[in-house]
Amino acid sequence: MDSRVHSGDSVGKVAVTFRLMPDVVDVDLDNIQARVRDAIGDRLKKLEVRPIAFGLKAVEAIVVVDDAAGELERIESLLSRIPGVGGVETTELTLL
């Protein structure tokens, strides 16, 4: 049985941490953060720039979504289409 299935009709929520890697080192991270805010809206709970290695920085976003099939993939796809983003990785998933 899928551990995400809950009793009753209500769907739970999960907090997902995404790491957005830039497509080039000198990308405008402020612009990426602004586009993440626009794309995610009020589901966005935290957004920050984090150092990765050798001067490379990534944007990390914590997003709260419904614990339903396809939601995680939909948000990941949305984030990957932001100009300047070279890749999106889910780094953490927490049931709320």
> Domain spans of the chain?
13-95
For the chain, the average pLDDT equals 90
Supply the pTM of this predicted model: 0.85
User: What pLDDT digit, counting tens, does each position of 36-93 carry?
Assistant: 999 999 999 999 999 998 889 999 999 999 998 999 999 999 999 999 999 999 999 9
- Residue 67: count of CB within 10 angstroms of its CB: 19
- Residue 75: count of CB within 10 angstroms of its CB: 20
The CATH code that applies to domain 13-95 is 3.30.70.60
Q: Partners of 65 in the beta sheet? A: 14
**pLDDT score of 31:** 97
Q: Partners of 56 in the beta sheet? A: 53
Does residue 79 or residue 11 have the better pLDDT?
Answer: 79
